[in-house]
Structure 1
Amino acid sequence: MTSFVLTDEGGATMQLVDIDGYKICNFYNSAEEEGELVRALKTFECRDDDVFILAPMKSGTHWVWEIASMLLQGKAETIPKRKSKNMLENVPQNELNDIPSPRILNSHLDFKFLPEQLFEKKCKIIHILRNPKDMAVSFYNHVKGITCYAYDGEWQHYLKLFLEEKLEYGSWFGNVLSWETFVKANPSYPVHVIYYEELQKNNVSEIERLAKFLGVDFNDQLVNMVSEKCQFSNMSKDKLVSDDLRKLLYKGNFTMYRKGAVGDWKNWFTVAQNEEFDRVYNQKMKHSALSFQYTI
């Protein structure tokens, strides 16, 4: 594993870690530390009641993690920690082992890095999908706003890297196709698929659906309270980090809760960029049955 500098067509650079050709954020670790952490995940000891949120970057993992955590604790109270503290590729295993059960862990990693016991024990998986145009815009703002990437490139150059599958966590197309194949091939495996846009549009019914999957006792009052507490406007205030941590992690006024809207991509894509995106999408996803909502 080595430090890796990705350069876009405009000459802007992005700091990443290369793990056998697979690029990820360094999470403020050295390349060696991050590589060892990720490689060790194959033998990570899972618990029977672990729940894993597994999704591509910027698909709504923070949001769903908060909702699921509230459902498991049975009360609509802000979780006093950040989702990243339960993230496989961000936290040493000894710290993950200290988390009390039931753990809601999360990752954006490809299948090849995930714990073997996750599948052996058939741990519950929540898989989130978001339309890739909004996801790409959110991803761009994420990378520009977090200090460890040291990136200040322009949107058009970043979009080209996305379409060429050169960014962190590899190919979005490959990731979602792998999960589509897995779900289809393993109909009895406990995978709960959430579409970001459906969670926006039908929040209460989607939270009820998730509660049933998690097997928790719930009633209309709890679901409605969780729905209200996890509205974007509330989470953007409740999940603020301290000023000292903000200065370390983020540039300017960056926040993990930037907009949360469906259709923001229209404010970023030119007509030509949208046509090129559609061309690439149609080529790479031609055998997929997945369908995304780009507006609601």
Structure 2
Amino acid sequence: MCFGPWYDHVSGWWEKKQTYSNLLYLFYEDLVEDTGREVERLCSFLGLSISIEEREKITKGVQFDTMKQNKMINHVTIPFMDFKISPFMRKGKVGDWKGHFTVAQNEQFDEVYKQKMKNTTLKFRTEI
């Protein structure tokens, strides 16, 4: 990974969250399940009181398809990312990995994941 191991990045921030109250962890599956609820969580975390119109604008703006079209978000301007291989933002479908991994690959991933994430309390959802 061009920014370092995913496991270190994710578990490192999760551990910081345990001692720093000014970190908010959002999960993609939760955003897909109920974007409005997660926007509300974010506003509450930031101590913001915003109008319904502003909340709706934010909710619309953070939808996957909207963000995928935004060059400031989808990293198309970063020269070391090869989008001929894979775009930074692919489909935005929860659980889409199941259509790409074989059973053996999934078992191998599960073993590596278990080993790399054994010292964290972080739990991910893989379905909605």
TM-score w.r.t. the length of structure 2 is 0.77
Larger radius of gyration: 1
**2:26 match:** 194
Contact 2:7 2:116 in 1 (8 A): yes
Aligned pairs for 1:56-67 (under 5 A) are none
With over 3 angstroms needed to count, the CA separation of the structure-2 counterparts of 1:172 and 1:251, relative to structure 1, is: closer
Choose 255-264 or 272-281, whichever is displaced more.
255-264
Gaps of 5+ in 2: none
SS at match of 2:24: strand
**1:233 match:** 65
**2:7 match:** 173
With over 3 angstroms needed to count, the CA separation of the structure-2 counterparts of 1:250 and 1:175, relative to structure 1, is: closer
SS at match of 1:192: coil
Q: RMSD value over aligned CA atoms? A: 2.7
Query: By percentage of residues, which structure has more strand?
Result: 1
TM-score w.r.t. the length of structure 1 is 0.37
Q: Is structure 2 residue 83 aligned with structure 1 residue 265?
A: no
Q: Alpha-carbon deviation of 1:212?
A: 2.0
**1:294 match:** 126
Q: Alpha-carbon deviation of 1:250?
A: 5.7
Gaps of 5+ in 1: 1-166
Higher RCO, 1 vs 2 (CA within 8 Å, ≥6 residues apart): 2
| Structure 2 residue identity aligned to 1:195 | F
Contact 2:31 2:38 in 1 (8 A): yes
Q: Alpha-carbon deviation of 1:287?
A: 2.7
User: Size of the alignment, in residue pairs?
Assistant: 123
SS at match of 2:26: strand
Q: Alpha-carbon deviation of 1:283?
A: 1.8
